[in-house]
Homo-oligomer: A and B are copies of this chain.
């Protein structure tokens, strides 16, 4: 999609600051002249409460936000979309059951900005198969919005060398994904984001991203343009 404008945040918060504080400059840059933001609250259980939190935070940045759970028509009127984080299974189930996959794809194809955070960033990928969430809800399909050709693994956490826990690390889980799947996986640390403008993919923030190609050693990519490595 030549026209796509996506901002995909690893997380809504980083340690020691408030909701979306760390991401505010990137959100402002991504939204540009947009004023009306449609909100997808379906990764949370309590849509009203989540919409109130998001509405207040976006109002503080000067944007009017309407949630798709109580104002379904707001997608047509919006000039940007924000998909909040939460449980990825719950979010994907809602996107299918509410028939939102194709309308959101058309919205992005029209050149309007898409901002996702955590689960909201995963659903920009071809599938939801790189989530770490519990399958609290059973979606009719793992297919997601397919706005980018790679997978994101948000909240990427490096192994703790002092740990005596035998459960799998995030990197080992991504290895399991690659035993059965082919797509590149971007391990996106908290405080990082991907900006996708047409075919240009830029890693934002101060951290490197850990990028996994099937059957190859992982690579650490520094902030800046990274589409050549995906």
Contact = CB atoms under 8 A, between A and B. Distances in A.
A120 to B, nearest CB: 14
A165 B135 contact: no
A45 interface: yes
Number of copies: 2
B165 A15 contact: yes
A155 to B, nearest CB: 4
A157 to B, nearest CB: 6
A195 to B, nearest CB: 21
Interface residues of A, number: 38
B135 A131 contact: yes
B173 A133 contact: yes
Nearest to A143: B138
B128 A177 contact: no
Contacts of A192: none
B190 A165 contact: yes
Nearest to A191: B166
30 contacts: A15-B165, A16-B164, A45-B180, A86-B176, A87-B176, A90-B176, A128-B135, A129-B134, A129-B135, A129-B136, A131-B134, A131-B135, A132-B134, A132-B167, A134-B173, A134-B174, A134-B176, A135-B142, A136-B176, A136-B177, A136-B179, A136-B180, A137-B180, A155-B166, A155-B167, A157-B165, A157-B167, A165-B190, A166-B190, A167-B190
Interface of A: 11-16, 45, 86-87, 90, 128-138, 141-142, 155, 157, 164-168, 173-174, 176-177, 179-181, 190
List the 6 closest pairs (A to B, CB-CB), nearest first. A155-B167, A15-B164, A45-B179, A134-B173, A136-B177, A138-B142
